[in-house]
Amino acid sequence: MLASLLIEQTFNGVQLGVMLFLMSAGLTLVVGIMNVVNLTHGSVYMVGAYLGAAAAAASGSFLLGLLGAVAGTAIVGALIEISIFRRLYSRSHLDQVLATFGLTLVFNEIVVMIWGRSSRFLSIPDALSGAIPVGDMFSYPVYRLVITACGLALGAGLGLVIGFTRLGMLVRAGATHATTVAALGGNIPLLYTIVFTAGAIMAGLAGFFIGPIVSINSSMGDSVLTLGLVVVVIGGLGSVRGALIASLLLGIGDTCARGLLPLVLGYPLGPALASMSVYLFMAAILLIKPRGLLPAS
């Protein structure tokens, strides 16, 4: 029974890790490349869930809901980068924290004004509602496997774009030599808008994908933002590969700790250690590698 639980929690951990990667990939690019502390990323994750659920409910189509989440978060991301974040690039990190924290409160209240405080739910499409047997131990939901595969595919695509395209070359160069890139004719403001918008889309996708698994509410982005920041710190600022590795390690470690430690250590020690496991892991990594696992050079 313990082995079956461990395997199932590992599956859940990979799924959580992939969702954390979608959430944190844009965050690590914004923090590492644009040098901006962005506390609104959790709000974009929440907005993607709400917009996708609203589009799916209005159209009756999960796919159209997905497109609504992508289009909506792309617009939101571009608008807040152009109207607000461009004024923060030259400001101190304290100013950035205060401004983006205030913007988070604004997003939360706007969502409450439009959709109310009651939780909303997104249905899994019929084609993805079944389960696949894993040996003779348990059955695993098809939907979780599909969104895990989609997240990994998006991560691979992002890695290819950053590592092997002209846009990726400009992103990497702009991270450390923005002035030189601008002097050579690179459009740094446009590059920053593209990076920020791409990060917003990935966060919105994560929010939409997780909608059928958890309830959609105005506070859903807060805890995910905390985990996203932990991923950025562990993986290394500006490192997409580091964010992927850190996300998977955190996802598997967190789900296994929450599922197994209460059984092994009992109450209240087990749940207490499980809730602290992510932060203990971060502290251990930083003691060994202060700049994270794979910091961008």
Average pLDDT score, the chain: 87
User: Which of 143, 129, 147 lies closest to 205 in space, CA to CA?
Assistant: 147
Tell me the average pLDDT across 235-243. 85
CB atoms within 10 A of CB 220: 22
pLDDT digits (tens, 9 = 90+) for 119-130: 888 888 888 888
Residue 293 lies in a domain: no
Distance, in Å, from the CA atom of 168 to the CA atom of 194, rounded to the nearest integer, reads: 11
pLDDT digits (tens, 9 = 90+) for 103-113: 999 999 999 99
CB atoms within 10 A of CB 181: 20
- What pLDDT is stored for residue 270 in this prediction? 82
Residue 69 lies in a domain: yes
Residue 148 lies in a domain: yes
Residue 170 lies in a domain: yes
| Counted domains in the chain | 1
- What pLDDT is stored for residue 297 in this prediction? 61
pLDDT digits (tens, 9 = 90+) for 66-83: 999 999 999 999 999 999
The answer, yes or no, to whether residue 262 has pLDDT greater than 80, is yes
- What pLDDT is stored for residue 273 in this prediction? 85
Residue 151 lies in a domain: yes
Tell me the average pLDDT across 149-172. 85
My answer on whether omega of the bond before 268 falls inside 30° of 0, hence cis, is yes
Percent of the chain with pLDDT over 90: 39
pLDDT interval class at 175 (50, 70, 90): low
- 3-state SS track over the chain: CHHHHHHHHHHHHHHHHHHHHHHHHHHHHHHHHCCCCCCCHHHHHHHHHHHHHHHHHHHCCHHHHHHHHHHHHHHHHHHHHHHCHHHCCCCCHHHHHHHHHHHHHHHHHHHHHHHCCCCECCCCCHHHCCEEEECCCEEEEHHHHHHHHHHHHHHHHHHHHHHHCHHHHHHHHHHHCHHHHHHCCCCHHHHHHHHHHHHHHHHHHHHHHHCCCCCECCCHHHHHHHHHHHHHHHHCCCCHHHHHHHHHHHHHHHHHHHHHHHHHHCCCHHHHHHHHHHHHHHHHHHHHCCCCCCCCC
Residue 297 lies in a domain: no
Range of the structural domain that residue 234 is part of: 2-121+131-288
Distance, in Å, from the CA atom of 22 to the CA atom of 206, rounded to the nearest integer, reads: 6
CATH number of the domain to which 189 belongs? 1.10.3470
Residue 22 lies in a domain: yes
Distance, in Å, from the CA atom of 78 to the CA atom of 73, rounded to the nearest integer, reads: 8
Contact 20, 152 (CB under 8 A): no
Tell me the average pLDDT across 24-33. 81
Tell me the average pLDDT across 253-268. 82
The answer, yes or no, to whether residue 240 has pLDDT greater than 80, is yes
pLDDT digits (tens, 9 = 90+) for 29-76: 888 777 788 889 999 999 999 999 999 999 999 999 999 999 999 999
Phi first, then psi, for residue 91 (nearest 5°) are: -90, 170
The answer, yes or no, to whether residue 205 has pLDDT greater than 90, is yes
Distance, in Å, from the CA atom of 263 to the CA atom of 120, rounded to the nearest integer, reads: 32
- What pLDDT is stored for residue 73 in this prediction? 96
Bridge partners (DSSP) of residue 105 are none
Residue 24 lies in a domain: yes
pLDDT digits (tens, 9 = 90+) for 210-219: 999 988 998 8
